[in-house]
Amino acid sequence: MKKNIYEELTNEKLIKKRDLFKGVSIGFGVIFLLAIGIIVYILSVKGLKNVSIATFIPIFILPITFIPMLINLSLLNKEIKSRNL
Residue 31 covered by a domain: yes
The answer to the question of residue 15 being in a domain is: no
Give alpha helix (H) positions in the chain: 11-46, 57-82
Instruction: Tell me how many domains the chain contains.
Output: 1
Q: What per-residue confidence (pLDDT) applies to 25? A: 92
Q: What's residue 83's pLDDT?
A: 86
pLDDT of residue 1: 56
In a domain, 47, yes or no: yes
Q: Consecutive sets of 10 residues in the chain, 85 residues long: mean pLDDT of each?
A: 78 92 93 90 85 83 88 91 85
What's the pLDDT at 49?
A: 81
Domain range for 42 is 21-82
Those residues with Cβ within 8 angstroms of residue 59's Cβ, 6 or more apart along the chain or in another chain: 35, 36, 39
**Residue 36 lies inside a defined structural domain of this protein:** yes
Give pTM, 2 decimals.
0.76
* Whole-angstrom distance, CA of residue 66 vs CA of residue 57: 14
8 Å CB contact between 51 and 42? yes
Contact 85, 12 (CB under 8 A): no
